[in-house]
Structure 1
């Protein structure tokens, strides 16, 4: 059965789905959409290949927590860095830095958030890596200076995914 992905290229949430499908080796057809008039989306679960969530219920809950953290504590403050000015921009920048530092602490010295393999939290965060330059440009700061381990992880993830999938890095943000 073929999978059709209804998406828009600028959506970090749609990018998560593209990453997950690539990671699972699921062939799919990309269909650019106006997301304000969504149609039904089909999903197929592959239990035996590249599970994105841990089998342990506690670890699974932690992964969901951190992915939700990314949705709210990276997306919204990050958005303020390019949509707001003055104090609101600074609040967004500071909130983003604080959130990225927490994520960096959770990552620790592991190659991925869930250890030795790409997981749900990585899939949640990877789409935002392509926005880092914009955050830095609009808010005049360096994520690498604030969170060097997270940036090292970003580069490692890009290289690993490129080697596995033999796709141009443009795939991840275009």
Structure 2
């Protein structure tokens, strides 16, 4: 184990953004104290203190200094603890890893969320748009096992949650977003990544995740009436 030096992580079990930070810490074997937030009821004074701007998780606190925003936290972790580097050494490959990490947040998440929050004909249209976006993500694999090639890198850690959350949306809405026939590389990558022991052990309970998001969807649809 590498000395984490007073590392705390403020997170929430249902957050894919907190999950990617947990993955990074686990992969680098950085010891940390995990503080679970109750985002559904009342945010802690600690969260409001450490992230007064966005008031969101995750927040990494290292030697008393907070870092917010999950992608920035991933970079901080990689620069602070050099073992098992996530970002490639090659400048071009490093830029590509950052590109796909940002692509997932800026393009894939909104597309999947739009499917989740819609129904009927609108949903069918949004499914096609989401699938096109996910097909673009698949192109980043270039036929490799992982975005990092033979081993996972920054892009895999940043985007890996999408396999779990996309399938959660599929189950709740009865849609198809990632399938083995039309997105064989993306489908295989997501399964391969999520089955890695250090990754799998951190995933939230599937039934609990489904129940949580069913509740979110029902509340949202009720608000439209």
| Structure 2 match to 1:46 | 81
| Structure 2 match to 1:114 | 148
Shift of 1:46: 0.8
Alpha-carbon distance change, 30 to 102 in structure 1, aligned in 2, over 3 angstroms:
same
| Structure 1 match to 2:157 | 123
Matched, 1:156 2:175: no
Could you state the TM-score of these two structures normalised by the residue count of structure 2?
0.67
Q: Measure the CA separation in 1 of the matches of 2:126 and 2:26.
A: 32
3-state SS, counterpart of residue 111 of structure 2? helix
Alpha-carbon distance change, 92 to 113 in structure 1, aligned in 2, over 3 angstroms:
same
Answer yes or no: is the 8 Å Cα contact 2:13–2:36 preserved in 1: yes
Could you state the TM-score of these two structures normalised by the residue count of structure 1?
0.84
Could you list the runs of 5+ residues in structure 2 that have no partner in the other structure? 51-59, 63-76, 206-225
Matched, 1:66 2:100: yes
RMSD: 2.1
Q: Measure the CA separation in 2 of the matches of 1:106 and 1:128.
A: 14
Alpha-carbon distance change, 54 to 170 in structure 1, aligned in 2, over 3 angstroms:
closer
3-state SS, counterpart of residue 58 of structure 1? helix
Higher-Rg member (1/2): 2
More helix by share: 1
Shift of 1:124: 1.4
- The number of equivalent residue pairs is 168
| Structure 1 match to 2:202 | 171
Q: Measure the CA separation in 2 of the matches of 1:38 and 1:59.
A: 36
Q: Measure the CA separation in 1 of the matches of 2:48 and 2:16.
A: 16
3-state SS, counterpart of residue 59 of structure 1? helix
| Structure 1 match to 2:176 | 141
| Structure 2 match to 1:15 | 19
Answer yes or no: is the 8 Å Cα contact 2:111–2:126 preserved in 1: yes
Q: Measure the CA separation in 2 of the matches of 1:92 and 1:28.
A: 40
| Structure 1 match to 2:31 | 27
Shift of 1:170: 5.1
Q: Deviations over 1:89-145 (max 9, x none)?
A: 234322221121112122122111021221111111111211122222315225223
| Structure 1 match to 2:89 | 55
| Structure 1 match to 2:7 | 3
